[in-house]
Amino acid sequence: MAVTSVTSGPAPSPGGGGAAAGRGQRPVSILDVAAAAGVSYQTVSRVINGHPSVRPSTRQHVQATVENLGFRPNRAARVLRGRHAGSVTVLTPNTTLYGYQAGLQGIEEAARAAGFAVGVRVVESTVRAEIADAVTRAVEPGGSLIVIAYDRAGTMALRAVPTDVPMAAMVETPAGGNTGRKRPWVWLDDRRAAIQATRYLLSLGHQTVHYLALPSSTRTSQRQVGWHEALAEAGAPVPAPLPGGWTPRSGYEAGQVLAADPGVTAVLCGNDDLALGVMRAMHATGRAIPEDVSVVGFDDTPVAEFLTPPLTTVRMDFAELGRACFALLLALMEHKDALPHTRRPEPELIVRESAGPPPLPRGSSPTRAAAT
C-alpha cells in the first residue's frame, strides 16, 4: 500500500539472472583488452579510436577481443584526456509541452543511434543570472548542447551559451528567413504552416480568421505573419490577434472571449492545446463546432485525431526536427564547416472535422458542413 518501499542495501540479483547482469567487479579496461590480445594498451586505444596506423590483422584481433570482453571505454577518462564525451545535453524550458517533448524524443532517438548519451536540463527562470548558471551547469567539459528555444527562457539560454561549446538549437522560424549570419539552428516553416491553415479556412467561405497567438520568442512570430499574409492576399479584414499561452486552460480562457463575439466564425489557434481549450469554451457556451465556429490548430498532437470533433490542424513534425537538429550538431562536431542540408519536415494541413463553412447569415438555418 505504501508508495515507497525501502531497501537495506542493493537488492540481490534475482535467480535466473542471465545476460550481463550482476558483474560487480571493476569494468574491463583497455589494459585488460591489451593483455588478452597480447598487445600494448596503446594499440588498443588506437584500434578503438579508428587510428589508421594499425596493421589490419592486429586491428581485427583487437576488435574481436574488445567484443569478447565486452569492453566499453570509460567516458570520464576519455573526457579528462580532452576528447569529446559523446554526449549532448538538451537545455529546455520544458519537457511536457508537445513541441518540446516531441523534440526531445527526436533528439534522443538520433543521439542514441549515434552512440551519444543524452542529458536533459530544464531552465525555468527568465532571470539573466539564473539562466547563465543553468547554462554553465548544463555544459560539462567534453559535452555538447542542444537548446530548445521556443520562448523567452529558451532564447535567453541560447544567447548565454559560450561560443566554444558545440551547440545546435531548435528555434521558431527566424524573421529574416535564411538571411543574415548563418547559425546552427533548425526550424519548421511556421509561416507556410499558417498560410496553409488560413487559406483553407478562407476557402471554406469565412469572411476572416481570428488568430489566437502563442507567446513568441521573436519580435514577429512567423505564424502570425503567415496568417496575416494569407488574410491580406485574400483582401480579408485582419482582426487583432488574441494573445494566448501554451495550455488548454489558456485556450479555454481565450475561447470564452471569442465565444462572446458573434462575428467570430473561424479561429486559428497557435497550437492544438489552445485549440482544445477553445473548443471546450465554445461547447460550454453552446456554440457548435464546426457549424457555428471553425477551429484549427497547429501540431497534430496524438490526441487531436480523437477529439470531438476531430481537430483539423497543421502537422508540425517536431520529432523529425529534433533528429535534424542532432544531425546538425553532429555535423558541426565532425567537419566543422560542412553544410548539412537535412531533410526538412514540411508542415502539412490535416483536414478533419473541426472546420467547415461559416454559418449562414442570421435568419437562415445553419448548414451541416462536410469538410472535404
264 lies in the site for DNA, by CB under 7 A? no
Number of Cβ atoms within 10 Å of the Cβ of 124: 11
333 binding partner (options its own copies, DNA, none; Cβ < 5 to 8 Å by kind): none
Q: Please say whether the beta carbons of 153 and 217 come within 8 A.
A: no
Q: Which of 71/208 has CB closer to its own copies?
A: 71
Q: Which of DNA, its own copies, none sits in contact with 46, Cβ below 5 to 8 A by type?
A: DNA
Which CB, 73 or 358, lies closer to its own copies?
Answer: 73
Q: Select the span of 3-11, 37-45, 49-57, 228-236 touching its own copies (CB under 8 A).
A: 3-11
Question: Which residue, 74 or 207, has its beta carbon nearer to DNA?
Answer: 74
The answer to whether the beta carbons of residues 71 and 34 sit under 8 Å apart is no
Q: How many CA atoms lie within 13 A of 198 on its CB side?
A: 29
Binding mask 130-169 for its own copies (x = CB under 8 A): -xx--xxx--xxx----------------xxxxxxxxx--
Cα–Cα dist 311/272, whole Å: 8
Find which of its own copies, DNA, none residue 303 binds, CB within 5 to 8 Å per kind. Answer: its own copies
Judged by beta carbon distances under 5 to 8 A according to partner kind, the member of DNA, its own copies, none in contact with residue 105 is its own copies
Residue 117 touches which of DNA, its own copies, none (Cβ within 5-8 Å per kind): its own copies
Nearest to 173 by CA among 187, 160, 159: 187
Question: For residue 305, what is the DSSP state?
Answer: G
Among 59, 84, 152, 344, the residue binding its own copies under the rule CB under 8 A is 344
* Residue from 52, 55, 56, 178 binding its own copies (CB under 8 A): 178
Integer CA distances (angstroms), 188 to 172, 209, 299, 324, 348, in order: 7, 22, 11, 11, 11
From the list 341, 330, 347, the residue with the least C-alpha distance to 110 is 330
Burial class (CB in 10 A: 0-12, 13-18, 19+), 333: middle
Task: Between 228 and 273, name the residue whose CB sits nearer to its own copies.
Answer: 273
Q: Which does 370 bind (CB under 5 to 8 A by kind): DNA, its own copies, none?
A: none
The residues in 65-84 that bind DNA, with binding defined as CB under 7 A, are 71, 73-74, 77-78, 80-83
* CB atoms inside a 10 Å sphere around CB 326: 28
Taking CB under 8 A as the binding criterion, the range among 23-31, 36-44, 224-232, 364-372 that sits at the site for its own copies is 23-31
Q: Judged by CB under 8 A, which of 30, 43, 62, 108 binds its own copies?
A: 108
Task: Return all residues near 173 (Cβ < 8 A) that are at least 6 apart.
Answer: 187, 188, 189, 190, 191, 222
Distance CA 173, CA 217 (A): 10
Cell of 80: 579528462
Binding residue (CB under 7 A) for DNA from 13, 17, 21, 49 = 49
- Interface residue with its own copies, options 50, 53, 57, 181 (CB under 8 A): 181
Residues 13-42, mask of contacts with DNA (x by CB under 7 A):
-------------xx-xxx-------xxxx
- Rounded to the nearest whole angstrom, what is the least distance from the CB of residue 21 to DNA in the complex? 20
Size of site (CB under 7 A) for DNA: 30
Q: Does 182 bind its own copies (CB under 8 A)?
A: yes
Is residue 28 exposed (0-12), middle (13-18) or buried (19+ Cβ within 10 Å)? middle
Nearest to 135 by CA among 109, 153, 111: 153
Return the axis-axis angle of helices 98-113 and 318-334, rounded to nearest 10°.
40
If one asks whether residue 64 binds DNA (CB under 7 A), the answer comes out as no
- Grid coordinates in use for 239? 482582426
User: Which 184-223 residues touch its own copies, going by CB under 8 A?
Assistant: 184-189, 192
By CB under 7 A, name the binding residues for DNA.
26-27, 29-31, 39-43, 45-46, 48-49, 52-56, 58-59, 71, 73-74, 77-78, 80-83
